[in-house]
Copies of this chain bind each other. A is one copy, B any other.
Amino acid sequence: MNNIDIVMQDAREAFESFRLLSPSERSSFLQKLAAEIEAARETLVQTAHEETNLPLPRLNGELSRTTNQLNLFARLIEEGSWVEAAIDTADKNRTPPKPDTRKMLLPVGPVVVFGASNFPFAFSTAGGDTASALASGSSVVIKGHSAHAKTSQLVFEAMQKAISKAGIHPFTVQHVLGSGSTVGKALVQHPLTAGVGFTGSFAGGKALWELANQREQPIPVFAEMSSINPVVLLQHTLQENAAALAKTYAASICLGMGQFCTNPGLLLAVKSDALDQFLTLLGKEIEQTAPQKMLHSGIHASYTKGLSEVLAQKGIEKIAQSAQQPGNGEAFPTVAKVNASVFMQNPHFREEVFGPYSLAVVCADKAELMNVLQSLKGQLTTTIMATDADVEANADIIALQTTLAGRIILNDVPTGVEVCASMVHGGPFPSTTDGRFTSVGTTAIKRWVRPVCFQGFKDTMLPDALKNNNPLHIWRIVNNEWTKNGI
């Protein structure tokens, strides 16, 4: 057996043990994970700072997000209704007799999680993919990201302490490092792997998805890939709020040096004096934004290349760049504009430039704006900046936006993704490989399960979630009625 074979055999063995834990045992383990990561906060944040160039306050916030996320999933599985238990009791007098059938969601088995470069904590080693997979009852193999390998290893060591304190199978979580094209590929191809979580580039995510589909038994890959997050700025709000909008959007475009999946990369509006005024103010804000170091040299090189390529396209006009020349490894905050007719003819403008860059698309009229929206690929988010009068006059634009993305935002910025039950951080292809699921929020757990129906089982043989007296006190659908009552 090679190394990956051993890792996946161990992961499978751990799964067989971990899946049998009660929800409260799993919940308690997730809380211990959060506690051990919290206990290592100072070292973790300092190490991540050195590896990623991200500022300490941001990393401290991200670490809190990570432990909050683990605790949120702990509460979710303690509450327990997420398993979608449904029960239809037997009716022996029917012709033909109706059997007793009971359904719930069960974990699929070892899950492979790829760490993300841009979130060393919240979307990496102990991030949302890992937290949701463990909550479901799956064991996890983490492929640490090379851009923050030390941080990843330290997070894993904290997790190992929690595993030891919880007294659960030592291979419930494993950690491997190495290249995506060898180690990553081998993990996705391994017959014992049952699901994959990934946050990163379109090329990387699509490659994993294709590998998974070529397996003898294909497996789901949940890759969150690329999105330019179109923002529609409507007429009255531009007239009334240009200065505030410029400040808000410059900050969102440059937040974390633009290294967010939800960065507003496209600003759409109908041409007007108010739009010109807004773009001038936005340019001034961008000029005042200082360049900062990007996550690593690869991302910096991509941004520099992507930016120069897009700015070389015919018909694009630079609005402004930071007044300060970027130093070594630093990103150059930039906004540009293009007419919608030019935008529509050049697919290059629809590609993500990952960094502090945004493109304003100036439309001749509302019809052209809707054509631009319709020409876009699937997105994680789309935003409407609008007054009440704007909303009333543009219901058709908003309806169109609903078909485009997983999250539709009114009068706010797309950056910032709340971790909660109603979040959708996912969207139609190519923003993710599977727009039916989210990688943020409690329903992220649904990626690692499948429904199983038990027919004619005796009460003692059934999982607790399906037993007559409802020992877990969860919400269930019993004979088509939602209830917490026993049978």
Residues of A within 8 A of B (CB): 75, 79, 81, 84, 86-88, 96, 98-99, 101-103, 106, 109, 213, 217-218, 220, 377-378, 388, 391, 398, 402-403, 405-412, 416, 418, 420-424, 426, 428-430, 433, 435-438, 443, 449-458, 461, 475, 477, 480, 482
Contact = CB atoms under 8 A, between A and B. Distances in A.
Contact of A436 (B79, B220, B403, B453): B220
Contacts of A429: 217-218
B409 A456 contact: yes
A410 B452 contact: no
A132 to B, nearest CB: 15
A444 B337 CA distance: 45
Given A101-B418, A217-B377, A482-B475, A449 B423 contact: no
A384 to B, nearest CB: 9
A389 to B, nearest CB: 13
A407 B86 contact: no
A220 B412 CA distance: 32
Nearest to A109: B403
A467 B378 CA distance: 26
A79 to B, nearest CB: 8
Contact of A75 (B101, B426, B461, B480): B480
Contacts of A436: 220, 449-451
Contacts of A391: 458, 461
A377 B213 CA distance: 16
Contacts of A457: 408, 410
Contacts of A217: 377-378, 428-430
Given A429-B217, A475-B482, A424 B398 contact: no
B453 A103 contact: no
A482 B81 contact: yes
B451 A443 contact: yes
A416 B96 contact: yes
A475 B453 CA distance: 23
Give me the 9 closest cross-chain CB pairs, A-B, nearest first. Answer: A424-B453, A103-B422, A86-B422, A407-B453, A86-B421, A88-B420, A409-B455, A410-B456, A101-B422
A217 B202 CA distance: 13
Given A75-B480, A406-B450, A450-B428, A99 B421 contact: no
B420 A101 contact: yes
Contacts of A416: 96, 99
A98 to B, nearest CB: 6
Contacts of A420: 88, 101
A386 to B, nearest CB: 10
Contacts of A430: 217
B218 A422 contact: no
A403 B452 CA distance: 9
Contacts of A433: 218
B408 A103 contact: no
A418 B477 contact: no
A426 B451 CA distance: 9
Contacts of A424: 103, 451-453
A482 B408 CA distance: 24
B461 A410 contact: yes
Nearest to A388: B458
A416 B420 CA distance: 40
Contacts of A84: 443
A422 B102 contact: yes
Contacts of A87: 422
Nearest to A446: B436
Nearest to A100: B422
A146 B420 CA distance: 48
Nearest to A101: B422
A456 B411 contact: yes
Contacts of A452: 402, 405-408, 424
A388 B391 CA distance: 65
A209 B466 CA distance: 34
Contact of A455 (B106, B403, B407, B428): B407
20 contacts: A86-B421, A87-B422, A99-B416, A101-B418, A101-B420, A103-B424, A213-B213, A217-B429, A218-B429, A220-B436, A407-B452, A407-B455, A408-B452, A408-B453, A408-B455, A409-B455, A410-B454, A412-B456, A424-B451, A424-B452
